[in-house]
Structure 1
Amino acid sequence: MPPSTSPVFALIDCNSFYASCERVFRPDLVRTPIVVLSNNDGCVIARSAEAKQWVKMGQPYFQVRDVLRRHGVVAFSSNYALYGDMSQRVMTVIEGMVPACEVYSIDEAFADLSGVPGDLEQLGRDIRERVLKYTGIPVGVGIAGTKTLAKLANHAAKRWAAQTGGVYDMRDPVRRDWVLKKCQASDVWGIGPRMAAHLTALNIRSAWDLAQADPWSLRKQFSVVVEKTARELSGTPCLELQAQEPPRQEICCSRMFGERVSELQPIRQAVATYVMRATQKLRAQRSLARKLRVSIRTGMFNPEEAKYASGVVVQLPYPTDDVRLLTRMALEAVDTIFRPGFRYSKAEVLLMDLCQPGEFSDDLFAPRQSPTCDRLMQVLDDINGRWGAGTMRAASVPAAPDWEMRRELMSQSFTTQFNALWRARS
Structure 2
Amino acid sequence: MFMLVDCNCFYVSCERVFRPDLNKKPVVVLSNNDGCVIALSKEAKCLGIKMCDPWFKIKNYYSFRGVVAFSSNYELYADLSYRIMNILESLAPKIEVYSIDEAFLDLSQINNNVDIKKIAVQCQAKIKKYVGIPVRVGSGPTKTIAKIASYGAKYYTKNNILNLSKINDQYKIMQDIPVKEVWGVGLKLSNRLSLLGIRTAADLLRSDIVYMKKMFGISLVKTIMELNGQECMSLQSKYREKKQIIVSRSFSQKIDKLSSLQEAVSDYTARAAEKLRRGKQLCKSLTVFLRTNTFGVSNDSHYERSYYVPLLSLTDDTRELITAAKFAMKRIYRLGYSYNKVGIVFSDLSRNNNIQIEIFNKRGEGRAKRLMRAIDEINFHNKGKVMFLAQGVEKCWSMKRDYQSPKYTTSWHDLPGVM
TM-score using structure 2 length? 0.96
Tell whether 2:254 aligns with 1:260: yes
Shift of 1:161: 3.0
Runs of 4+ aligned structure 1 residues displaced above 3 Å come to 358-369
Partner of 2:29: 36
Tell whether 2:133 aligns with 1:137: yes
Cα distance in 1 for residues equivalent to 2:364 and 2:140: 48
Partner of 2:209: 215
Partner of 1:4: none
Partner of 1:355: 350
Which of 87, 91, 95 is equivalent to 1:97?
A: 91
Q: Give per-residue Cα distances to partners, 1:153-181, cap 9 Å, x unaligned.
A: 0110111232xx11110011111111111
RMSD: 1.5
Amino acid at match of 1:310: R
Secondary structure of 1:46's aligned partner: strand
Amino acid at match of 1:60: P
**Residue pairs, 1:16-415, within 5 angstroms:** 16-53=9-46, 54-117=48-111, 118-162=114-158, 165-303=159-297, 306-359=301-354, 361-362=356-357, 364=359, 370-386=365-381, 388-415=382-409
Cα distance in 2 for residues equivalent to 1:211 and 1:307: 48
Contact in 2 for aligned 1:20/1:138 (Cα 8 Å)? yes
Secondary structure of 1:84's aligned partner: helix
Shift of 1:367: 7.2
Shift of 1:94: 1.2
Contact in 1 for aligned 2:93/2:109 (Cα 8 Å)? no
Q: Give per-residue Cα distances to partners, 1:240-275, cap 9 Å, x unaligned.
A: 012423111000000001100011111110000000
Cα distance in 2 for residues equivalent to 1:402 and 1:183: 48
Cα distance in 2 for residues equivalent to 1:296 and 1:350: 12
Cα distance in 2 for residues equivalent to 1:369 and 1:71: 62
Shift of 1:71: 2.8
Contact in 2 for aligned 1:319/1:369 (Cα 8 Å)? no
Contact in 2 for aligned 1:292/1:352 (Cα 8 Å)? yes
Cα distance in 2 for residues equivalent to 1:33 and 1:330: 43
Please identify, of 42-51 and 395-404, the stretch whose mean Cα deviation from structure 2 is larger.
Answer: 395-404
Shift of 1:382: 1.1
Cα distance in 2 for residues equivalent to 1:369 and 1:156: 57
Secondary structure of 2:211's aligned partner: helix
Contact in 2 for aligned 1:41/1:77 (Cα 8 Å)? yes
Unaligned runs of 5+ in 1: 1-7
Contact in 2 for aligned 1:317/1:367 (Cα 8 Å)? no
Amino acid at match of 2:218: V
Shift of 1:303: 2.3
Contact in 2 for aligned 1:319/1:368 (Cα 8 Å)? no
Q: Give per-residue Cα distances to partners, 1:79-131, cap 9 Å, x unaligned.
A: 00010001001111111111211111000000001142311111101101110
Distance 1:219 1:302, change over 3 A: same
Contact in 1 for aligned 2:3/2:105 (Cα 8 Å)? yes
Cα distance in 2 for residues equivalent to 1:136 and 1:361: 48
Distance 1:366 1:259, change over 3 A: same
Distance 1:369 1:35, change over 3 A: farther
Contact in 1 for aligned 2:176/2:200 (Cα 8 Å)? yes
Contact in 2 for aligned 1:318/1:369 (Cα 8 Å)? no
Shift of 1:360: 5.5
Shift of 1:362: 4.8
The size of the alignment, in residue pairs, is 415
Secondary structure of 1:96's aligned partner: helix
Secondary structure of 1:35's aligned partner: strand
Cα distance in 2 for residues equivalent to 1:214 and 1:359: 46
Contact in 1 for aligned 2:245/2:272 (Cα 8 Å)? yes
Please identify, of 211-220 and 81-90, the stretch whose mean Cα deviation from structure 2 is larger.
Answer: 211-220
Shift of 1:376: 1.5
Q: Percent identity?
A: 38
Shift of 1:214: 2.1
Partner of 1:424: 418
Shift of 1:27: 0.6
Secondary structure of 1:52's aligned partner: helix
Amino acid at match of 1:95: E
Secondary structure of 2:246's aligned partner: strand
Cα distance in 2 for residues equivalent to 1:360 and 1:376: 19
Distance 1:90 1:270, change over 3 A: same
Shift of 1:192: 1.1
